[in-house]
Structure 1
């Protein structure tokens, strides 16, 4: 049995949509990293984040069908009284899942930036400070949520309060939410803006810099979700229509985690996007930047994109013309090209041209 009314459909729809996008981008991330043999520490961390993220999804979807987002007058009807306790139980699961999931999700993004920094101590130490700040704050919030009511079941079973149970006043929990959200917003912005000075002096063309910085700065979207959630945090003190009031807290709290996961995954998919572009826009066998027009080299002459850079190779196609205008095309090393040029031909009017196509990440 389930109850769907008021804001519950909005909660369910938002959670389902963002969950699908999060797992789709995670699957693409796995394919991209495994196929290119570039699996790293940040990928393991994001994989670990999937477990608490699933707990978060369970809390949000379970709450959407068991009272969260439902007006109190509807829950007071005899057939719906059971959803009052159910909604509060799933809200507690949401709180635990939120704090547990956001730590590895943000840690994965931060770790990727640390790898990009490549030994630049100022950026690395800044990111370590960011990691320490948001990890500590969210762990404190998680501990507080678990001990907010003693026993824990008192959070949804009011009969335990009459038997000696105890819960902290609502405004105390609200203050913890405000502090945690503020820390998450600050660290989101620091993480999102760090790629700009980090890549400012890197030798890349302007378009490449803009695309990389844009991808890595998408974390601002997660910060926007946190900012919106901050507006609704005051609803935690609502005593007359509690489960309806906290629906927006759940929606935007889940969005903060889901968008963070989506952004973290998308930032690793640039090689996959470029590969799709090569297969759909560019014709096979043609170079993208050739002064003399399209390259006539076959795709087999390009730098291998399979595996790590240690397994790559470069192939040279030499075009040789002798004094009689005869042309020979061959796949040769530099030494073999010289032998071919001077073997059995007049040294005059010899033209040698080479073209090397290099595909890289």
Structure 2
């Protein structure tokens, strides 16, 4: 993963440098011979880094998938052997492609210093083979996990979700197909400097999709744990609305704070079942009014009540 990221920065450097020397979508016949030296050198750097990024990133993706889908204590299944085959193809072709790019001319400097006496072979043949290998690998990687996903013991909604997560590899397949079509056009034209632009753009898109595919399983978990789906649903009005607080819920703090007072002043029999603070207030008001009307103190009233209870 780290090696793939470092090589990716190499392609970024070469791609941005070509903006200034000589620029994209510039016809070859509008350039002087001296203006071609720097672009040819940058194209060589881009091609070597590209040939290193894809094997590394695809190997990382397939190893991660093997960790998820292949049980440790069981024999190797078809999925495991398919991943091993793609990894082997990518690594072997990646090393071979880098060697072919650097051995296309003798001496080596003649690759970008085209005016030197040299012996070179046709580079578009290597480019077409590379594009074909990447398209075949991307399509294979798209179908590899689908068979296992649809045999998992879960409902079809979850199967679709998991299938989509591991099916984003179709983006890399689309980018690889467009790159292949532009490679064919590049191989059949003499205006190579004009057509190198879209070819490098789609190659960059293919590499970027590889990093995105590698991070998608973790990205989905981060999105769920961040609460973003719930926030989006609430903003769109699909979330559950909080219910209005009931009258008794609003009175709960008051009841809990005055529970002792309610125990010392029992409610009247006809008010039982209506446990509200107003019954307590009504009892207290009634007791105070009775005391005032009788002209007795509270202690005398309590004494008379105790005597009456004793007689009963």
Deviation per CA, 1:185-211, whole angstroms, max 9, x where unpaired? Answer: 111111111221112222233332222
| Residue 58 of structure 2, aligned match among 103, 106, 123 | 106
Q: Gapped runs of 5+ residues in structure 1?
A: 1-45, 289-361
Does structure 2 retain, via aligned residues, the 8 Å contact 1:56–1:101? no
Does structure 2 retain, via aligned residues, the 8 Å contact 1:59–1:97? no
SS at 1:204's partner residue? Answer: coil
State the Cα distance separating 1:282 from its structure 2 match.
8.5
Whose radius of gyration is greater, 1 or 2? 2
SS at 1:159's partner residue? Answer: coil
- For 2:253, the equivalent position in structure 1 comes to none
- For 2:203, the equivalent position in structure 1 comes to 253
The change in CA–CA distance for 1:192 and 1:237 in structure 2 (over 3 A counts) is closer
Does structure 2 retain, via aligned residues, the 8 Å contact 1:178–1:233? yes
| Residue 275 of structure 1, aligned match among 217, 225, 239 | 225
The change in CA–CA distance for 1:194 and 1:237 in structure 2 (over 3 A counts) is closer
State the Cα distance separating 1:233 from its structure 2 match.
1.3
State the Cα distance separating 1:177 from its structure 2 match.
1.8
Q: Structure 1 residue 115 and structure 2 residue 52: aligned?
A: no
Higher relative contact order, structure no. (Cα contacts within 8 Å, ≥ 6 residues apart): 1
- For 1:166, the equivalent position in structure 2 comes to 119
| Equivalent-residue separation in structure 2 for 1:255 and 1:52 (angstroms) | 15
Does structure 1 retain, via aligned residues, the 8 Å contact 2:26–2:193? yes
TM-score of the superposed pair, with normalisation by structure 2: 0.67
| Residue 132 of structure 1, aligned match among 63, 88, 92 | 88
| Equivalent-residue separation in structure 1 for 2:187 and 2:147 (angstroms) | 42
Does structure 2 retain, via aligned residues, the 8 Å contact 1:154–1:160? yes
Between 1:197-206 and 1:84-93, the stretch displaced more is 197-206
| Equivalent-residue separation in structure 2 for 1:211 and 1:188 (angstroms) | 20
Does structure 1 retain, via aligned residues, the 8 Å contact 2:54–2:90? no
State the Cα distance separating 1:253 from its structure 2 match.
1.5
Does structure 1 retain, via aligned residues, the 8 Å contact 2:172–2:209? yes
Does structure 1 retain, via aligned residues, the 8 Å contact 2:131–2:183? no
Deviation per CA, 1:208-229, whole angstroms, max 9, x where unpaired? Answer: 2222211111111111111111
- For 2:106, the equivalent position in structure 1 comes to 150
The correspondence of residues 237-248 of structure 1 with structure 2, limited to 5 A, is 237=187, 240-248=190-198
State the Cα distance separating 1:281 from its structure 2 match.
5.9
Does structure 2 retain, via aligned residues, the 8 Å contact 1:235–1:246? no
| Equivalent-residue separation in structure 2 for 1:214 and 1:100 (angstroms) | 28
Between 1:211-220 and 1:66-75, the stretch displaced more is 66-75
| Residue 192 of structure 1, aligned match among 128, 133, 142 | 142
Does structure 2 retain, via aligned residues, the 8 Å contact 1:53–1:97? yes
Q: How many residues get paired?
A: 229
Segments ≥4 residues shifted beyond 4 Å: none
| Residue 15 of structure 2, aligned match among 43, 54, 60 | 60
Does structure 2 retain, via aligned residues, the 8 Å contact 1:215–1:266? yes
| Equivalent-residue separation in structure 2 for 1:273 and 1:88 (angstroms) | 43
Does structure 2 retain, via aligned residues, the 8 Å contact 1:232–1:248? yes
State the Cα distance separating 1:60 from its structure 2 match.
1.3
State the Cα distance separating 1:129 from its structure 2 match.
0.8
Backbone CA RMSD of aligned residues: 2.2
| Equivalent-residue separation in structure 2 for 1:144 and 1:236 (angstroms) | 18
Higher helix share: 2
Does structure 1 retain, via aligned residues, the 8 Å contact 2:25–2:197? yes
TM-score of the superposed pair, with normalisation by structure 1: 0.59
SS at 2:227's partner residue? Answer: helix
Does structure 2 retain, via aligned residues, the 8 Å contact 1:141–1:180? yes
Does structure 2 retain, via aligned residues, the 8 Å contact 1:236–1:246? yes
The change in CA–CA distance for 1:234 and 1:196 in structure 2 (over 3 A counts) is closer
Q: Structure 1 residue 202 and structure 2 residue 152: aligned?
A: yes
Deviation per CA, 1:118-152, whole angstroms, max 9, x where unpaired? Answer: 23522111110111112212221111001112222
